[in-house]
Chain A
Amino acid sequence: MNRKSQIQIGETIAVLFVFFILIVVGLIFYARVIKGNIEIEGEESSQLRSVGIAQRVMFLPEVQCSEDNNIIDNCIDTLKLESAQSLMRENEVYYYDLFEFGNISVAQIYPNEVKWSLYLRKADNLRNKIVTNVPVSLYNPVTRRHGFGVLTIETFSK
């Protein structure tokens, strides 16, 4: 092979090398953008999950107020809460499908302070926590009076 051909081959290899370098740089940039998007989507997805769980709790027949089978929105029956507390603790595995890893509690603020813990399931490797507070009306069917409270839903994720 003569010297001219050798130089030509060298030039082609150099062009290919630069071409591949540019492609790799482009791919790395693309991967970083995608990774960033995935992280944002992951964050959005855990927030959505948290809102979904909050909605599920709010509309749970186990705690929701009803009058002649008519559902009252944003209202929790305190007598149901008493029963739900022990039932949900005994059937934690069943309710895991609805609430996943989280902590659900109801705190009455007015007329007096009372706290009910409905559900708690934790795992050591879950470090992120999203807290959703929902103001609710707490109905006591015995006194037939409404109190005021906060439903707190904590969801845990990696």
Chain B
Amino acid sequence: MDKKAFEIQFNWIFVLVAGAAILLFFTAVVLKQKSLSELSTKAVVIKTIDAIITGAGVSTDTINIVDIPNSNIEVGCNRAAKQYQNLILFAPGLIKGDKLITQTMAFSAPYRATNLLFMTSPQVRYIIIGSNSLAREINKSLPSDLKKEFYESMPEIRNSNNYKVRLIIFENMIDVPRALEKMPDHDVTAVKVNGNNEKGTIEFWEKSGNSWLSKGSSAYIGKQPLIGAVYADTLEAYECSMRNAFSRLNFVTKIYAGRTRELLRRASISGNQPQCSQSYSSALAHLSSISAASSNFGIDSINTIAAASKLLADQNKNAQIHSCTLIY
């Protein structure tokens, strides 16, 4: 090789090394920036959900549409983008898109124990089928921004390319709609409601090919937890949030029991209004049954709480009639 040829080759190798170094440098910068941007998107989502959860604790009967960076949020038991200890959130297992629909409602049995937070994506389709008043009431209670459809009897359902479809059935169970047969099984779910707006049972179903597979049943007390069963697409998610709501009810009941005990003590000391003492004493018995029943979530405890709530509401009315301090 002569000297000139060696010089040209050396120049090319030099250009190659320098070019590679520059490329490598910028690739590293871009990759770092990409991971930072992903991290920042995640942080924005976590912050938004945290703010929603905080807001849910302080305001009842609200509906909000929140803009978020386009993302997939996985929701599980005590988990929504991050881990919580006691999260009362009813939502589908996966929330996709750049918008969140949130709704809050008070959970009262009969006094307010906590707020229930419902969250979903406008891309999830809800199909309500039923002709009774409860079906109409549930349809009315769901936000109008939700992709919801209400039918009195089984309609012809078409696939409108939603990533999840939830059927809420108030009468006899229907067949899996043909148009939805090709969707993944876990994305087509149904909940069958048996009961009224005070209490009842709910059965969770998941599509399995062209038929339904039962995933178990649970219970609800009041309209609000029933709406929770509409949003939560699995039995586990529903029961997890209900267990958390019940533990909150347990704490609040203990507070009311302590308060009523003190009211009874003071009424007994003064002895002016025996009717007040009578109301407080009966109320204490009902509060203690609510307290005992709310330590576990289940059909039996729901029946006990529903019965005791009614009796407690009567005692509260009695207290009001006799101008006593109200129990709650």
Beta-carbon contact of B86 and A94 below 8 Å: yes
Beta-carbon contact of B254 and A83 below 8 Å: yes
Residues of B within 8 A of A144 (CB): 325
Beta-carbon contact of B259 and A62 below 8 Å: no
Beta-carbon contacts of B16-32 to A below 8 Å, as 1s and 0s? Answer: 00100100010001000
Beta-carbon contacts of A71-109 to B below 8 Å, as 1s and 0s? Answer: 100000101101110010001001011100000000000
A23 touches which of B25, B114, B247, B316 (Cβ 8 Å):
B25
A-B contact count (CB 8 A): 96
In the complex, chain B residues 157-179 whose Cβ is within 8 Å of any chain A Cβ? none
Beta-carbon contact of B326 and A67 below 8 Å: yes
For the complex, give the distance between the alpha carbons of A87 and B112 in Å.
Answer: 18
A116 at the interface (CB under 8 A from B): no
Interface size class of A (residues with CB under 8 A): 35 or more
Beta-carbon contact of A79 and B262 below 8 Å: yes
Beta-carbon contact of B113 and A141 below 8 Å: no
Beta-carbon contact of A58 and B58 below 8 Å: yes
Interface size class of B (residues with CB under 8 A): 35 or more
For the complex, give the distance between the alpha carbons of A62 and B29 in Å.
Answer: 52
B255 touches which of A58, A69, A80 (Cβ 8 Å):
A80
Beta-carbon contact of A66 and B328 below 8 Å: yes
Beta-carbon contact of B251 and A94 below 8 Å: yes
In the complex, chain A residues 107-148 whose Cβ is within 8 Å of any chain B Cβ? 141-142, 144
Query: Which residue, of A20, A91, A142, has the highest number of chain B Cβ atoms within 10 A?
Result: A142
Q: How far is the CB of B194 from chain A (nearest CB, A)?
A: 27
Beta-carbon contact of A142 and B266 below 8 Å: yes
Residues of B within 8 A of A7 (CB): none
Beta-carbon contact of B258 and A69 below 8 Å: no
Beta-carbon contact of B316 and A68 below 8 Å: yes
For the complex, give the distance between the alpha carbons of A16 and B18 in Å.
Answer: 8
Residues of A within 8 A of B85 (CB): 94, 96-97
Q: How far is the CB of B192 from chain A (nearest CB, A)?
A: 31
Q: How far is the CB of A36 from chain B (nearest CB, A)?
A: 16
Residues of B within 8 A of A79 (CB): 258-259, 262-263
Residues of A within 8 A of B251 (CB): 62, 87, 91, 94
Beta-carbon contact of B263 and A141 below 8 Å: yes
Residues of A within 8 A of B50 (CB): 52
Known: A79-B262, A144-B325. A61 touches B114 (CB 8 A): yes
B320 touches which of A9, A68, A83 (Cβ 8 Å):
A68
Q: Which residue of A lies closest to B254 (CB)?
A: A87
Q: How far is the CB of A7 from chain B (nearest CB, A)?
A: 13
Beta-carbon contacts of B73-86 to A below 8 Å, as 1s and 0s? Answer: 00000000000111
For the complex, give the distance between the alpha carbons of A45 and B112 in Å.
Answer: 30
Residues of A within 8 A of B29 (CB): 27
For the complex, give the distance between the alpha carbons of A66 and B256 in Å.
Answer: 11
A61 touches which of B14, B113, B326 (Cβ 8 Å):
B113
B108 at the interface (CB under 8 A from A): yes
Beta-carbon contact of B252 and A62 below 8 Å: yes
Shortest 7 CB-CB distances between A and B: which pairs? Answer: A83-B258, A97-B85, A52-B54, A59-B58, A79-B259, A141-B325, A83-B255
Mark A residues whose CB is within 8 Å of B: 1-2, 5, 9, 12, 16, 20, 23, 27, 45, 48, 52, 55-56, 58-59, 61-62, 66-69, 71, 77, 79-80, 82-84, 87, 91, 94, 96-98, 141-142, 144
5 A-B residue pairings within 8 Å (CB atoms): A2-B7, A16-B21, A55-B54, A66-B112, A68-B320
- Besides the contacts A16-B18, A142-B263, what 9 more A-B pairs have beta carbons closer than 8 Å? A55-B54, A55-B58, A67-B326, A68-B316, A82-B259, A83-B258, A87-B251, A91-B251, A94-B251
